């Protein structure tokens, strides 16, 4: 598989000299599902936001399809290839479901409404939400909102999907319906980078596990090796919190 996304010595430093990402070197292959685990505050979500241009960086490079991104000029194009789904849905409350999904394809990608609407209806039907086409966000459950957010990202035809703690705001009974959608996308070959605290879900979906600690990649390994870890005490302590081992 070809490398679709790469970071080289990526650094993120806030104005107060707080180093959030301290030299991140990661490669993601096309069709691969990479799950990022680690304690709160270790830089996981910031890393995703840097990949999508929502945070500027203070050092290093980001490459998409082996092209080094010009961080001043390329983000408009990048966001058409790198979709992102947020923890808190980020749906526009004054727009119905269909309008939320069509906004970026019509306004940013300048695609035909007929084509995009057909795709939106197809995706919503697949997610069990075809009857919610004209519903307002306030009329939806948390799980439904998150599925709409995923549908919105997919409708832009992204090459990579970034998922940032997408179940963190959901009630427990709603988590499964969202994770089932993500598992289905993985089976279809969607390239994904996922930040999550759902450890069992991570063990099921990941091709690779990245373990972040203090803004660095402490481990990059296959799921079987990570979840059966017996040598790395830091990883063992982390997994014990979730009673995984």
List CB contacts of 99: < 8 A, sequence separation 6 or more.
92
Predicted confidence (pLDDT) at residue 31 exceeds the cutoff of 70: yes
CATH number at residue 84: 3.40.50.300
Q: What is the pLDDT of residue 173?
A: 81
How far is it, in rounded angstroms, from Cα 191 to Cα 110? Answer: 24
Dihedrals phi, psi of 208, to nearest 5 degrees:
-145, 150
Domain that holds residue 170: 3-90+159-241
188-197 pLDDT tens trace: 999 999 999 8
**CB–CB of 212/195 below 8 Å?**
no
**Of 193, 211, 224, residue with least CA distance to 48:** 193
Name, of 4-13, 47-56, 177-186, 231-240, the range with top average pLDDT. 4-13
CA-CA distance, 120 to 124, in Å (whole number)? 6
Average pLDDT over residues 60-72: 88
Residue 16 lies in a domain: yes
The confidence score (pLDDT) of residue 245 equals 53
In a domain, 34, yes or no: yes
Residue 98 within a domain = no
pLDDT at 244: 57
Q: Tell me if 126 is assigned to some domain.
A: no
* Angle, vertex CA 27, rays to CA 56 and CA 151, nearest 5: 70
For residue 118, is it within any domain? no
Residue at 96 is within a domain: no
Q: What is the pLDDT of residues 76-95, one digit of tens each?
A: 778 888 999 998 888 999 99
Residue (of 25, 34, 28, 29) closest to 2 by Cα position: 29
Please check the confidence at residue 72 and state whether its pLDDT lies above 80.
no
Q: How far apart are CA 101 and CA 197, in angstroms?
A: 27
60 belongs to a structural domain = yes
Give me the mean pLDDT over the 121-139 stretch.
94
Residue 147 falls inside a structural domain: no
pLDDT at 50: 94
How many domains are there within the chain?
1
Please compute the mean of the pLDDT values over residues 169-180 and round it to a whole number: 86
CA distance 195 to 204: 14
């Amino acid at each position: 598989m070809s490398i679709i996304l790469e970071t080289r010595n990526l650094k993120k430093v806030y104005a107060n000299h707080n180093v959030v990402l301290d030299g991140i070197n990661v490669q993601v292959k096309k069709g691969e599902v990479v799950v990022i685990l680690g304690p709160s505050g270790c830089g996981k979500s910031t890393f995703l936001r840097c990949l999508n241009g929502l945070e500027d960086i203070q050092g290093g490079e980001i490459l998409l399809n082996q092209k080094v991104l010009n961080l001043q000029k390329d983000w408009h194009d990048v966001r058409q290839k790198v979709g992102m789904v947020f923890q808190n849905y980020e749906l526009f409350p004054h727009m119905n479901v269909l309008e939320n999904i069509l906004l970026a394809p019509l306004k940013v990608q300048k695609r035909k409404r007929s084509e995009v609407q057909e795709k939106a209806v197809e995706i919503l039907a697949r997610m069990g939400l075809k009857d919610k086409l004209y519903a307002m966000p306030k009329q939806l459950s948390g799980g439904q909102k998150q599925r709409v957010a995923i549908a919105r990202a997919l409708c832009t035809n992204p090459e990579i999907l970034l998922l940032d703690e997408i179940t963190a705001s959901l009630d427990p009974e709603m988590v499964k319906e969202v994770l089932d959608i993500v598992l289905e996308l993985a089976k279809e070959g969607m390239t994904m980078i996922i930040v999550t605290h759902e450890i069992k879900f991570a063990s099921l979906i990941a091709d690779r596990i990245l373990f972040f600690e203090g803004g660095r990649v402490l481990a990059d390994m296959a799921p079987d090796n990570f979840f059966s870890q017996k040598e790395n005490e830091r990883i063992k302590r982390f997994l014990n919190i979730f009673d995984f081992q």
